[in-house]
Amino acid sequence: MAKQKGTKLIANNKKAYHDYFIEEEYEAGIALHGTEVKSLRQGHCSVKESFIRIDNNEVMIYGMHVSPYEKGNIFNRDPLRPKKLLLHRYEINKLQGKIKEKGYTLVPLKVYLKDSLVKVEIGLARGKKLYDKRADIAKKDMRREAERDFKVRNLV
């Protein structure tokens, strides 16, 4: 079977960009079982409620929902089981040092296929205050209005 080239987005976490300032992004592999990979290839994944922790020098993602593969019968795993993320040791050490600082956390940003491998993009994030979120919404509204005005002017 030939390997596909390129990337295909499986799941995106838009809420993370709304709730956090993303300071750094890392690409991590993910340890999965066969039926989970088949389910992910079909696009059955959600990272909205998931979070990342570092336990015993291992990066784990909790709450990532991978729907059971419909033809997997007894080989299906628990959809919400914690999954190990694969990073280099120096990246894990760097992340451990950063999240010990006040206000930093790790959040999953997106899950995608990259050259037939499942990857997770994780972000080192700092929480936003309510006024930061309001400012972002205001900026988005202004940009949307400007685009709408530009579109109307070009049509006339």
pLDDT tens figures, 35-55: 888 888 888 888 888 889 998
> In the predicted model, is pLDDT for residue 89 greater than 90?
yes
Model confidence pTM above 0.95: no
Longest dimension (CA), the chain: 63
Which residue has tokens 């930061």? 132
Query: What is the DSSP secondary structure assignment for residue 74, as one 8-state letter?
Result: G
Domains and CATH numbers, the chain: 7-128 (2.40.280.10)
> In the predicted model, is pLDDT for residue 1 greater than 50?
no
pLDDT tens figures, 10-25: 888 888 888 888 888 9
Query: What is the DSSP secondary structure assignment for residue 75, as one 8-state letter?
Result: G
Residues near 104 by Cβ (< 8 Å), separated by ≥ 6?
23, 98, 124, 125, 126
Query: Taking a C-beta distance cutoff of 8 angstroms, is the pair 116, 3 a contact?
Result: yes
